[in-house]
């Protein structure tokens, strides 16, 4: 339970959170969350590719917080790429 300005709220993780191994070095994660104060649902999908240990690429997609009963509200979707590279001396 959080305590933001104006009252309390509860974020609930929605089942099923899924994790799928597409290959030995590639994993796809999906995660949904419901927030009761605004009655919205958000979703994140992430693809992780481990090229070699210390060298990884992440592709992430975030959906907006969606009110299932409100169909006319504008929505902004985000996609991001993160590259992690370890250099050893």
Task: Report pLDDT for 72.
Answer: 60
Strand partners, 52: 55
Domain that holds residue 32: 11-85
Closest CA to 35 of 72, 5, 70, 65: 65
Domain count, the chain: 1
Tell me if 4 is assigned to some domain. no
- At 50-66, the pLDDT tens digits run 998 889 999 998 887 66
Residue 1 has pLDDT above 50, yes or no: no
Contacts of 10 (CB under 8 A, 6+ apart): 1, 2, 35, 36, 37
Tell me if 3 is assigned to some domain. no
Positions of E strands within the chain: 11-23, 26-35, 40-52, 55-62, 78-85
């Amino acid at each position: 339970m959080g305590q933001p300005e104006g009252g309390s709220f509860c974020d609930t993780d929605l089942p099923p959170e899924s994790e799928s191994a597409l290959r030995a070095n590639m994993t796809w994660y999906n995660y949904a969350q419901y927030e009761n104060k605004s009655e919205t649902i958000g979703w994140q999908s992430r693809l992780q590719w481990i090229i070699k240990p210390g060298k990884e690429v992440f592709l992430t997609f975030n959906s907006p917080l969606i009110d299932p009963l409100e169909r006319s509200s504008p929505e902004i979707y985000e996609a991001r790429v993160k590259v992690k590279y370890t250099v050893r001396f």
